[in-house]
Structure 1
Amino acid sequence: MPSSGWQKSSYSAAHDDCVEVRAVAGMVDLRESDDADVIVRTTPTKFAALLQGIKSGEFDRHATPTT
């Protein structure tokens, strides 16, 4: 991931409310696009573990059901 501007998920296509990510100084920054002043910084290893957990459904039980 280049250490440039923010990238949003391809799943967010036409929506403005999305999670954005960027690499900065060997770290990974995350933010919610509609609250861009709040940034969470983590290591690439921890970010990879988060992505793996999301893909495997580890956090699905925390999701709010849609109606």
Structure 2
Amino acid sequence: MHQPNWYKSTFSENQANCVELAVAPDGICIRESDEPDTVIRTSPTTLRSFIRAAKAASLDHIR
């Protein structure tokens, strides 16, 4: 079984809870550090689209 190497943003370095990413053979894994057993997988293309939309504030209307 593949054990991913988890990375977090340097902006979260001193934070207890943060989002972590890992590269896996089947895509990108995402988890929250305080829930390490809950992992979602996505493709690099989908993650890139999500990050661009978040940066552009395109998701601000979603509640």
- The bucket for the TM-score relative to the shorter chain is 0.7 to 0.9
SS of residue matched to 1:38: strand
Alpha-carbon distance in structure 1 between the residues aligned to 2:59 and 2:13: 23
SS of residue matched to 1:60: coil
Aligned AA (1:15): Q
Aligned AA (1:51): I
State the match for 1:58 in structure 2: 58
State the match for 2:28 in structure 1: 28
Give the length in aligned residue pairs.
60
TM, length-normalised to structure 1: 0.78
Cα deviation code 1:4-49 (max 9, x no counterpart) = 5100012212112000001100400000000000000001100100
Say which structure is richer in helix: 1
State the match for 2:14 in structure 1: 14
Superposition deviation, residue 59 in structure 1: 2.0
Identity of aligned residues (%): 30
Superposition deviation, residue 50 in structure 1: 0.8
Superposition deviation, residue 60 in structure 1: 2.6
